[in-house]
């Protein structure tokens, strides 16, 4: 990778694209295998958002602990963090499912879905950060 800004680096954009394609395919697989009817708890979206928050928190903290955002660390962040996790998680679908629940006469479900998704998502990211910190400390001890 060159020293030009990351958003102008074709190689960096390619990594985000590749990771994004994999993340989208993974999310599609989860959503396809776990369909949700209007007015039901959208478990697939909830799960991918929580798993994505844990993975992103863990990844970024581990990378921070490993050193500066250059070289292989930057490529991993772009591929897995921005690309895979960015496409795997889907807060726009959370918003759509919330509106769908309201329209299906399930406003309490909609409100709980938003509240629980955001609260658990923040907690999941925090857990990921703790795990990532411990992993980076284990790497230092080796």
CA–CA separation, 51 vs 104, rounded Å? 27
Number of structural domains the chain divides into? 1
Residue 61: domain span? 6-141
What's the pTM?
Answer: 0.89
- Tell me whether residue 1 is in a domain: no
Estimate the share of the chain in helix, then strand, then coil, as percent rounded to the nearest 5. Answer: 80, 0, 20
- pLDDT over 70, % of the chain: 97
- Tell me whether residue 83 is in a domain: yes
Tokens coding 2: 């060159």
Give residue-wise pLDDT tens across range 1-56: 456 777 788 999 999 999 999 999 999 999 999 998 888 999 999 999 999 999 99
Residues 6+ apart with CB under 8 A from 98: 110, 113, 114
Q: Residue 64: which of 20, 8, 130 has the closest Cα?
A: 130
């Amino acid at each position: 990778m060159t020293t030009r800004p990351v958003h102008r680096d074709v190689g960096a954009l390619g990594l985000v694209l590749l990771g994004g394609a994999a993340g989208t395919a993974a999310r599609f697989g989860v959503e396809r295998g776990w369909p949700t009817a209007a007015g039901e708890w959208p478990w697939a979206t909830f799960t991918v958002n929580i798993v994505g928050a844990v993975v992103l928190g863990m990844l970024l903290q581990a990378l921070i602990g490993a050193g500066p955002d250059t070289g292989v660390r930057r490529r991993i962040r772009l591929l897995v963090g921005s690309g895979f996790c960015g496409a795997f998680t889907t807060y726009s679908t959370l918003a759509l499912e919330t509106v769908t629940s309201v329209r299906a006469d399930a406003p309490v479900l909609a409100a709980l879905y938003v509240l629980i998704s955001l609260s658990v998502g923040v907690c999941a990211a925090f857990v990921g950060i703790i795990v990532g910190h411990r992993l980076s400390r284990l790497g230092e001890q080796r």
